[in-house]
């Protein structure tokens, strides 16, 4: 028995380019050198950012770091 070809359009494939996020550890690797953060400041900032470890871009962490440090960085 021959299979009937369906007239339904094929399911569209999901967008394979999922949104990219930056993890806080990736940001801290750069920020520690660039802003001269101590290991204590790094640990405190990670605690401050609890629940917000992923941001769309690494620069999205800067306002949080400024708030944590209490000073403008850029």
The residue ranking higher by pLDDT, 11 or 69, is 69
> Quick check: pTM over 0.95?
no
Q: What is the pLDDT of residues 26-46, one digit of tens each?
A: 999 999 999 999 999 999 999
Other beta carbons less than 10 A from residue 48's beta carbon = 14
| Residue 49 near residue 24 (C-beta atoms within 8 A) | yes
Is 90 exceeded by the pLDDT of residue 10?
Answer: no
């Amino acid at each position: 028995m021959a299979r009937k070809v369906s007239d339904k359009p094929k399911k569209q494939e999901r967008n394979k380019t999922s949104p990219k996020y930056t993890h806080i550890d990736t940001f801290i690797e750069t920020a520690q050198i660039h802003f001269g953060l101590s290991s204590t400041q790094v640990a405190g900032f990670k605690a401050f950012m609890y629940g917000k470890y992923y941001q769309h871009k690494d620069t999205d962490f800067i306002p949080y770091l400024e708030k944590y440090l209490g000073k403008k960085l850029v």
